[in-house]
């Protein structure tokens, strides 16, 4: 691991990390790198987010869909846990709530494969401070 020695080091690192995030976001090949974030704070996990995350990975593997599944913190929609966010390449991210195994199948088959929206979308109700 290279240590960060100066502020410039860190800024260079930030640029390259941003570029790699960007690459993922701007990818134009729709069957590549779908990004799925599972809200995994204690409350999400208590509502079954861990099982949902492993089930996502399992089904995506089975169906041979190239996707990136990661965990993230609390999105704030505690009433609708487990919640997940899906970002298809070139599209705005969408949040789905009350995700169970049936919903996972539906999301994968309809939204991820065909881009068709399904019931259960949670409209994002906040703006977050973005990087400079």
Site for another protein, rule CB under 8 A: 1, 3-7, 10-11, 13-14, 17-18, 20-21, 37, 39-43, 45, 70-80, 85, 97-98, 114-123, 125-132
How far is residue 64's CA from residue 104's CA, in Å, rounded to a whole number? 15
Closer by beta carbon to another protein, 86 or else 122? 122
CB of 64 or CB of 127, closer to another protein: 127
**Shortest approach of another protein to residue 59 CB, angstroms?**
19
**Rounded-to-integer distance, Cα 103 and Cα 59, Å:** 12
In the complex, least distance from residue 28 CB atom to another protein, rounded to whole angstroms: 18
- Cα 43 to Cα 48, 51, 54, 100, 108: the distances in Å are 9, 13, 17, 15, 24
In this structure, are residues 107 and 96 in contact, taking their beta carbons and an 8 Å threshold? Answer: yes
- CB 109 to another protein: min, Å: 11
Please, which residue, 21 or 58, has the CB nearer to another protein?
A: 21
86 vs 38: CA distance, rounded Å? 9
Question: Please, what is the minimum distance in Å from the beta carbon of residue 126 to another protein?
Answer: 3
Q: Which is nearer to another protein, 74 or 101 (CB)?
A: 74
Nearest to 110 by CA among 25, 34, 22: 34
């Amino acid at each position: 691991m290279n240590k960060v020695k100066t502020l410039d080091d860190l800024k260079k690192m930030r640029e390259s990390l941003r570029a790699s995030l960007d690459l993922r976001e701007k990818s134009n090949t729709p069957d590549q790198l779908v990004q799925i974030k599972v809200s995994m704070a204690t409350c999400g996990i208590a509502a079954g987010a861990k099982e949902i995350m492993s089930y996502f990975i399992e089904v995506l593997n089975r169906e041979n869909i190239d996707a990136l599944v990661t965990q993230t913190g609390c999105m704030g929609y505690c009433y609708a846990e487990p919640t997940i966010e899906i970002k298809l390449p070139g599209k705005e991210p969408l949040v789905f709530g009350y995700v169970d195994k049936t919903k996972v199948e539906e999301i994968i088959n309809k939204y991820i494969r065909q881009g068709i929206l399904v019931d259960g979308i949670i409209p994002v109700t906040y703006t977050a401070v973005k990087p400079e």
